[in-house]
Chains A and B, each alone.
Chain A
Amino acid sequence: MAGSGTATDLALSGLTKVYGTNTAVAGVTLRIGAGEMVALLGPSGCGKTTTLRMIAGLVEPTEGDVLIGGFRVTRIPVHRRNIGMLFQNYALFPHMSVAENVAFGLQMRGLAKAEIRPKVEAALSLVRLGDYADRLPSALSGGQQQRVALARAIVIEPNLLLLDEPLGALDRNLRENMQVEIRQIQKRLGITAVLVTHDQEEALTMADRVVIMRGGKLEQVGTPEQIYSRPASRFVASFIGTSNFLRGNVAGYGGGMLRVSLAAGGQVLVPWPDDGRREVLISVRPEAVALAPLAEGAMPEIGVPATVQQVVYRGQTTHVHMQLADGEPFVAFLPNRVGESAGQSFAAGDKVSASWSPQSNWLVSDA
């Protein structure tokens, strides 16, 4: 597989799809750099597949444009866009052998038999299926079938690789292996790729950047690290991983820190560049939280008072579920070391003080 080398960038501008009265995708604008892998992530029905299919040309946009390598392809039919695609159900041609499946795209491009053969062999050995060329797809496992589909998609040296929940039908272990394998091949060939998934781990593992979609719109775009540690909204923070939310009022600002007094009692410091808000919503990841016993009626200087409701041992961590004074839930993931379980010292009904470093605080919009 001689890497095609000509990586192309992708731009979506105001992409919109309306079905009857239902707006599936509402004005999506996004730039994806050459050789970059971007994951579209979001709850069911948020328009991920529709967006991907508009890029592919399988769905005609109601409005907006798709630009590949700067060229507007919105009116170019599917078969002339030179895009590789992986489907959730693999979509291998059941009446053709593995080699014939991979050769199909090259035949459509009018290549001679002698040119096709070495390309097919190279593509199959890239996905480590060189020995399976003459099998029918039905004689392969799910993981092998998706690797054939990958070989079939990349052998045409596509400008773009689209993946719609490509690993959804595989079991967990195989899925992780395939995530790494697809990612490596995508990087090696430098193909620009768009991955649709509703598995957050998959998105974080595979993508350079993650796009969170909600109700047909982009909610947040960023690297996995940005999305996880700097979520823009309550929605993103709770969609990616688990998060605690604390309401509070800004009581002061100094040294680049907001001092926020919490609705549930107690106060925290939030590093923030400006002092523009009064009422804030703070997101805190459970693994950042430390717990300490708290005397009845006392108030922590920094942190929030809470009442333990349930302690769940989970192997690597112990989850301590608590309730705050204003009735909101709060959870801490305490790390376990073999021999000493962090959660052992707490039991249901205990009063505790939950605290964390200011850097773990992040303000999110309440939507």
Chain B
Amino acid sequence: MTASVLQATDMPTRRAVLPKWLAGIAILLPALAFLFTFLVLPSIILLSYSVLTQSESGDISLPLTLSSYQRLVSGPAYRHVVMTTLRVSVLTSLFASLLAYPLAMAIAYGKPLFSRITMILVVLPMVVSVVVRTYGWQLVLGNSNTGVLNWLLQLIGFGPAPVKVMFTEWAIVIASVHVFLPLMVLPLAASLGRINPSLNEAARMLGAPAWRAFLRITLPLSVPGLLAGLTIVFSLTAASYVTPQMVGGNRGLMLGVLLEQQINTSFDWPMAAAIASVMVAIALGANVGVEWLVGRRAAARLRRSRAR
């Protein structure tokens, strides 16, 4: 560094500084160090914990074992939690995408003012803490006739406390859809906004009713945004803790809550580490899977355009 600076001042005509690749690394170094210390290292420790043995006294040491993973997969109770987590995440991302399309279309195609207002309404809930929002759902979905929903249904004559969704998977799905909806709407609206509006008009002129134009043109062209939204919502739901903790109860037990129980109640660190690893694997799996899907679509397009 010093040498090159000297050189540069001594001979102003020569631009002898650091080689490009070295300069690149120097710029990246702080970020890399940060990521290594707080991501790579803990991940390695976490992963190693999950394959170590915990003694009676609570020390974690060799021998290596896969018993935590085994229990997670084969123990019916644990497996149930894994399946619940996957199911809730899939349902949440599906329902979120169904709700998100009309909103995203309103944002992408609406008149400027209408579009702005919709955007604000979609994003606004994000400034309220998840805890507060989920607490709201506790009040709405309460199983007794003091729950707002039950109270309303009873009022219009459905008998006492007709719905019992609180402390089930459905409560988590409902609350999670609400919490994560903006993260589905935003990439979708961006994707829709990039579609040339005359494509839809061209389809209509060629004889497509609005719904067929949507299915054949708008929907396929919005897939990149849809996949981005699905990935984000799926990963975040699978990794969530607050919402399942507050409205899931025992019937809606998810991995995040299970993990917390393993640490604070069972003091089973290897098991907690194994759960954490599985959660990371689920999120990674979703991302990799979508990447692969997108890549395959792109490759198929390329192949077809080179077909002749």
Known: A131-B308, A136-B304. A104 touches B206 (CB 8 A): yes
Q: A341 to nearest B CB, angstroms?
A: 49
- Interface hits, B191-240 → A, CB 8 Å: 196, 198-199, 201-210, 212-213, 216-217, 220-221
Contact yes or no, B204 A79, CB < 8 A: yes
Per the bound structure, the CA–CA distance linking A139 and B305 in Å amounts to 7
Residues of chain A within 8 A of B251, CB atoms compared? none
Q: Mark A201-233, 1 if CB is under 8 A from B, else 0.
A: 000000000000000000000000000000000
Q: CB of A181 within 8 A of chain B?
A: no
Per the bound structure, the CA–CA distance linking A294 and B301 in Å amounts to 73
Contact yes or no, B308 A138, CB < 8 A: no
Contact yes or no, A58 B206, CB < 8 A: no
**Most chain B beta carbons < 10 A, residue from A87, A133, A138:** A87
Q: Mark A261-303, 1 if CB is under 8 A from B, else 0.
A: 0000000000000000000000000000000000000000000
Contact yes or no, A135 B221, CB < 8 A: no
Residues of chain A within 8 A of B203, CB atoms compared? 93, 104
Residues of chain B within 8 A of A91, CB atoms compared? 196, 198-199, 201-202
Known: A95-B221, A104-B216, A131-B308. A78 touches B204 (CB 8 A): yes
Contact yes or no, B198 A79, CB < 8 A: no
Q: CB of A328 within 8 A of chain B?
A: no
Q: CB of A82 within 8 A of chain B?
A: yes
Known: A87-B202, A139-B305. A94 touches B207 (CB 8 A): no
Q: B302 to nearest A CB, angstroms?
A: 9
Q: CB of A352 within 8 A of chain B?
A: no
Q: CB of B124 within 8 A of chain A?
A: no
Interface range on chain B (Cβ under 8 Å from partner):
20 to 34
Q: CB of B45 within 8 A of chain A?
A: no
Residues of chain B within 8 A of A152, CB atoms compared? 202, 206
- Interface hits, B251-308 → A, CB 8 Å: 301, 304-308
Q: Mark A69-100, 1 if CB is under 8 A from B, else 0.
A: 00000000111111111010101111101000
**Most chain A beta carbons < 10 A, residue from B198, B202, B206:** B206
Per the bound structure, the CA–CA distance linking A89 and B200 in Å amounts to 13
Q: CB of A322 within 8 A of chain B?
A: no
Q: B298 to nearest A CB, angstroms?
A: 11
Per the bound structure, the CA–CA distance linking A79 and B205 in Å amounts to 5
Contact yes or no, A93 B217, CB < 8 A: yes
Q: CB of A56 within 8 A of chain B?
A: yes
Q: A50 to nearest B CB, angstroms?
A: 14
Residues of chain A within 8 A of B220, CB atoms compared? 95
With A84-B205, A94-B221, A131-B308 already in contact, 9 other A-B pairs whose C-beta atoms are closer than 8 Å: A78-B204, A85-B201, A87-B198, A89-B198, A91-B198, A93-B202, A104-B203, A132-B308, A134-B307
Q: 4 closest pairs, A vs B, by CB?
A: A108-B207, A105-B206, A136-B305, A91-B202
| Contact surface of A with B, Cβ cutoff 8 Å | 56, 58, 77-85, 87, 89, 91-95, 97, 104-105, 108-109, 131-136, 138-139, 149, 152-153, 156
**29 A/B residue pairs, CB under 8 Å, sorted by A:** A56-B205, A58-B204, A58-B205, A77-B209, A78-B205, A79-B206, A79-B213, A80-B207, A83-B205, A84-B205, A87-B198, A89-B196, A91-B196, A91-B199, A91-B202, A92-B202, A94-B199, A95-B220, A104-B203, A104-B216, A105-B206, A132-B308, A135-B305, A136-B304, A136-B305, A138-B305, A139-B306, A152-B206, A153-B206
